[in-house]
Amino acid sequence: MKLLEGKAVLVTGAGGGIGRDFALAMAAAGASVLVNDIGTSVKGEGSDAGPAQKVADEINDRFGGSGARAIANTDSVAHWESANNIVKTAVEAFGRLDVVVNNAGILRDRFFFNMSVEEWRAVIDVHLNGSFYVARAAAPHFKSQESGCYIHMTSTSGLVGNLGQANYSAAKLGIAGLSKSIALDMAKYHVRSNCISPFAWSRMIGSIPTETEDQKARVEKLKAMETAKIAPLAVFLASEEGRDVTGQIFAVRANEIFLMSQSRPLRSVHRAEGWTPETIGAHAIPALRAHFYPLERSQDVFSWDPL
């Protein structure tokens, strides 16, 4: 019996990149898959029904005979009504829903001091609000069937840091908080919720400049981070094998899988008489400073080549 035999999975943003490989791998593992994608640009401009349909057709061609089947859906995750329609379409087509993968995403990179309200809102709407809308729309089904699995895509841009991505970093760290809250609130209904922070060569990171020899060499190494390498962990989490894994944040980069830390106190200082601004400067800060985090970006922490 295949790992996801009989299960129904919904993958947002599955018309290309990492999401397409999620959809293909879930179907190969025996699941029925709703392939959602509005077919937009990296910036979230325009729409095209083609990508979602193409992936659904590919799944039906390759796996249709084994009982797996796929349907395409082009509703946006970024609005409550259309997000509800994604879930409704999956439930109506498959008669059930077992797994929600919140993967759809866009970028509107800009240094914070130049970022427009529109750029902020567009990214928050697709990533953070979209993840909430789709997850929330599926919650009544998961609650009543007393099972279900959420997989949300976060990013080291939020977990660690990155330049020029205030909107995206805030959304992706927000998604980590959303996932943990869902895991806590729905544990009693045997519903689990985890995050994956991927590193993968998709069109999203394909815009890195390749003018110098150094840049060309770097990009060649980044191409080793195939989008299909993220999918095995997602399939595991979606399966019964992953039933006791919840509230976690994983990162995947080519052949490496990481369990990421979650925020805990690092060190404390205490003065029985309480603190003044002066004693904080003279005592607390010197004691805590050794544990301060440097202003690191994702690439400073993941500083070695993908394996």
Q: Which of 128, 134, 58 is nearest to 90 (CA)?
A: 134
Q: 32 or 154: whose CB is closer to ligand NAI?
A: 154
At residue 58's C-alpha, the angle toward residues 53 and 61, to 5°, is 120
Q: Calculate Rg over the CA atoms of the chain.
A: 21
End-to-end CA distance of the chain: 32
What whole-number distance in Å separates Cα of residue 27 and Cα of residue 49? 20
The beta strand positions in the chain, using DSSP E, are 8-11, 32-36, 70-73, 99-102, 148-153, 191-199, 249-253, 256-259
Among 3, 7, 19, 150, binds ligand NAI (CB under 6 A): 19
Mapping DSSP to helix (H, G, I), strand (E, B) and coil, where does residue 168 land?
Answer: helix
Per-residue burial over 21-52, b if 16 or more Cβ lie within 10 Å, else e, is bbbbbbbbbbbbbbbbbbbbebebeeeeeebb
Among 124, 170, 205, 280, binds ligand NAI (CB under 6 A): 205
- Spot the catalytic one: 150, 168, 189, 293: 168
Residue 36 interacts with ligand NAI (CB under 6 A)? yes
Residue 30 interacts with ligand NAI (CB under 6 A)? no
Among 26, 70, 77, 97, binds ligand NAI (CB under 6 A): 77
Among 53, 167, 202, 248, binds ligand NAI (CB under 6 A): 202
Among 8, 9, 11, 17, binds ligand NAI (CB under 6 A): 17
Residue 176 interacts with ligand NAI (CB under 6 A)? no
Contact 101, 234 (CB under 8 A): yes
Q: Which residues contact 70 (CB under 8 A, 6 or more apart)?
A: 23, 27, 32, 33, 34, 35, 55, 56, 59, 60, 63
Residue 26 interacts with ligand NAI (CB under 6 A)? no
Stretch that binds ligand NAI, among 11-19, 114-122, 137-145, 207-215 (CB under 6 A): 11-19
Residue 13 interacts with ligand NAI (CB under 6 A)? yes
Among 29, 37, 178, 254, binds ligand NAI (CB under 6 A): 37
Q: 126 or 183: whose CB is closer to ligand NAI?
A: 126
Residue 245 interacts with ligand NAI (CB under 6 A)? no
Query: Nearest approach, Cβ of 135 to ligand NAI (angstroms)?
Result: 14
Give the CA count within 13 Å in the CB-facing half-sphere of 290: 6
Among 3, 4, 16, 167, binds ligand NAI (CB under 6 A): 16
168 given a catalytic annotation:
yes
Residue 222 interacts with ligand NAI (CB under 6 A)? no
Task: Please state the φ and ψ torsions of residue 70, each to the nearest 5 degrees.
Answer: -135, 150
Residue 161 interacts with ligand NAI (CB under 6 A)? no
Q: 39 or 161: whose CB is closer to ligand NAI?
A: 39
What whole-number distance in Å separates Cα of residue 97 and Cα of residue 174? 25
Among 93, 104, 149, 191, binds ligand NAI (CB under 6 A): 104
Query: Nearest approach, Cβ of 280 to ligand NAI (angstroms)?
Result: 37
List contacts with ligand NAI (CB under 6 A).
12-13, 15-19, 36-40, 42, 44, 51, 76-78, 103-106, 126, 130, 153, 155, 198-200, 202-205
Catalytic residues: 168
